[in-house]
Structure 1
Amino acid sequence: MRYVVAVIEEGGFTRAAARCHVTQSALSHQIAALEREIGTRLFARTSRAVRVTEAGEAFAAHAREALLAADRAREEAASAAGEVRGTLRMGVIPTVTAVDVPAVLGRFRAEHPHVRVELRMGNSDEMVPAVRAGALDVALLGLRDGLVPEGVASRVLAREALVAVLPGGHPLASREILSLADLADAVFADFPSGTSGREQSDHAFASAGIARDVAFEAGTADHLRGLAAAGLAVTLLPPGVVPMDDRAIAAVPVSDGPVRAEHVAWDARAPRAAARALLPLIV
């Protein structure tokens, strides 16, 4: 089952074999034996590519559940003996500021040296479903203040008002404070439409009844800052991800701007032992 899941996730037998620390021939042999046992092809193979079949997709869905249950059984047995083992899968938004992630993981590893840590970067919209599905154990999220991640346990870690990040030579760059109305005619850069990062600013402008021109979309705060530094756009970002010593940009508070809440989220039903060990270090 691990081999099948690895082939699907890695997109081929070679990378799957490397991930599973076996030879490609051994992995191929085991999957072929499994296909003979269940009486159907899980993968359509050609000389150039491997494609998962409909049967393979159905098998993999249940295989993931079985593997997760097996991992939890092993981890719970170790936990009952007073030891935390297994793998901690932690999702983190790139703009997290409420938690010093390296410091927290350093403490965690010192206390639980037998736990492997898989750190996955992504956006909140992807990570909440991953926590619900058991693909992530813990996630650090950023959402518009007032929203609560659905289907998971969570706790608010911090709230912060976003600041306007303007080109250093912008006419408003010297102001001590701005309003959304001051920025109505600005060209904006923002996160992609439909993401939680974008929704924070969209909601604030919609609530104020102000239309804005989002001419640039980018997936990271670094790229948004870069667009501002190049004089191409204005953006709204958490103050913790804006360097104060960068003269190419200016960060100005916005009186009625969006407020972001950072959350930690985890499986509400049956958190794994590694997640239970990590959470006290965060909250």
Structure 2
Amino acid sequence: MHLAQLRALVAVADRGGFTRAATELGLTQSAVSHAVAALERELGHRLVDRDRTGAVLTIVGKAVVDDAREAVRAADRVAERAAASGGELIGELRLGGMPSTNLAVLPGLQRRFARRHPGARVSLLEGTDDEMVDWVERGLVDLSCVVDGLGAVEGPVLAQDEFMVLVDPEHPLAGEASVAVEDLVDDAFVTSASGCEPLVEAIFAAHGLAFRPAHRVTQLGTIVTMVRAGIGVSVVPSLLLAEQPAGVVAMPLNPRVPRVLRIGHRVGGRPHALARAFLDFVVSEGPVTVVG
């Protein structure tokens, strides 16, 4: 069993196909296919089912892929620590972020960190709040952004913002300096099923109000479009409004409701040298604060 075989299996599992895995590894599709086939022969089990749409892990493949991923990461850590001991940071760092951090925070940090450490390859993956916790637990990313109250990671505060009410310019509340949650109960509410809905629901519950959204969507752009059209109102984190979208009015809640985002590794985990360096860099830069 060779490291290249394990690396090929992990890439196929993560990318969902041999072509995309080959692109990630800088190999030919044939080389990746041969590596996985050789591993299957050595283990005596089929690990990947191949079809026209891509590749999926078999039951045995799912059982072994996490161990294969950890073996690959362990080998990478050996190389990274050897380089770090010589004063150089090399290797790959995978960051997981949600739309709000990816719009306003992580790309700038990623660019500045890469300038300081040109031997580091930093990639950014975007997912939902729930996926952030799952990805870092499973080792799909090295560091993940998590909202306090929706999960836990070991790491510093990355950003702080607050929840904002979003209405169309003709709405009766559009001229207010701030808005009480009670003033929203008679409006159709637009929420993001993949975002901070549990926290918004908790805001309503804290005021003894039932949270009954009329519309559940995925993308911020859809929320803005529906609010602009007067279909409903929404409550969203201010990081998502770093660039004020046209045709809507944003106001803070009264009382204000803050949100704290952290970036870190799995609780109890051992981050590699590059991940530790990035966390130290975040601390040196200080948290980004965006309030209304």
Give me the TM-score of the superposition, normalised by structure 1: 0.87
5+ residue gaps in structure 2? Answer: 1-5, 284-292
SS at match of 1:41: coil
Aligned-residue identity in percent: 34
CA pair 49-89 structure 1, distance change in 2 beyond 3 A? closer
Counterpart contact for 2:104–2:242, Cα < 8 Å: no
SS at match of 2:141: coil
The equivalent residue for 2:271 is 271
Counterpart contact for 1:142–1:262, Cα < 8 Å: yes
Counterpart contact for 1:108–1:281, Cα < 8 Å: yes
Shift in Å at residue 103 of structure 1? Answer: 2.8
In the alignment, the residues of structure 1 paired with residue 17 and residue 88 of structure 2 have an alpha-carbon distance, to the nearest angstrom, of 35
Alignment map for 1:27-66 (pairs within 5 Å): 27-45=32-50, 50-66=55-71
In the alignment, the residues of structure 1 paired with residue 175 and residue 269 of structure 2 have an alpha-carbon distance, to the nearest angstrom, of 50
In the alignment, the residues of structure 2 paired with residue 11 and residue 198 of structure 1 have an alpha-carbon distance, to the nearest angstrom, of 29
Counterpart contact for 2:12–2:20, Cα < 8 Å: yes
In the alignment, the residues of structure 2 paired with residue 5 and residue 211 of structure 1 have an alpha-carbon distance, to the nearest angstrom, of 44
Counterpart contact for 1:154–1:265, Cα < 8 Å: yes
Instruction: Name the aligned partner's letter for residue 37 of structure 1.
Output: E
SS at match of 1:28: helix
Shift in Å at residue 9 of structure 1? Answer: 2.5
In the alignment, the residues of structure 1 paired with residue 106 and residue 60 of structure 2 have an alpha-carbon distance, to the nearest angstrom, of 40
CA pair 191-223 structure 1, distance change in 2 beyond 3 A? same
**Residue of structure 2 aligned with 1:89, choices 94, 100, 109:** 94
CA pair 172-138 structure 1, distance change in 2 beyond 3 A? same
Shift in Å at residue 170 of structure 1? Answer: 0.7
Counterpart contact for 1:168–1:247, Cα < 8 Å: no
Counterpart contact for 1:92–1:122, Cα < 8 Å: yes
Shift in Å at residue 82 of structure 1? Answer: 1.2
The equivalent residue for 1:114 is 119
Q: Over aligned residues, Cα RMSD in angstroms?
A: 2.5
Counterpart contact for 2:161–2:260, Cα < 8 Å: yes
Alignment map for 1:52-201 (pairs within 5 Å): 52-96=57-101, 100-143=105-148, 147=149, 149-150=151-152, 152-192=153-193, 197-201=196-200
Shift in Å at residue 272 of structure 1? Answer: 1.2
CA pair 156-13 structure 1, distance change in 2 beyond 3 A? closer
Counterpart contact for 1:204–1:257, Cα < 8 Å: no
Counterpart contact for 1:91–1:136, Cα < 8 Å: yes
Task: Show structure 1 runs of 4+ deviating over 6 A.
Answer: none
CA pair 148-32 structure 1, distance change in 2 beyond 3 A? closer
In the alignment, the residues of structure 2 paired with residue 216 and residue 107 of structure 1 have an alpha-carbon distance, to the nearest angstrom, of 39
Counterpart contact for 1:142–1:261, Cα < 8 Å: yes
CA offset digits 1:96-142 (Å, max 9, x no partner): 39963333222211221011011011223211232233322222333
In the alignment, the residues of structure 1 paired with residue 264 and residue 35 of structure 2 have an alpha-carbon distance, to the nearest angstrom, of 37
- After TM superposition, the structure 1 stretch with the greater mean CA deviation from structure 2, 42-51 or 175-184, is 42-51
SS at match of 2:69: helix
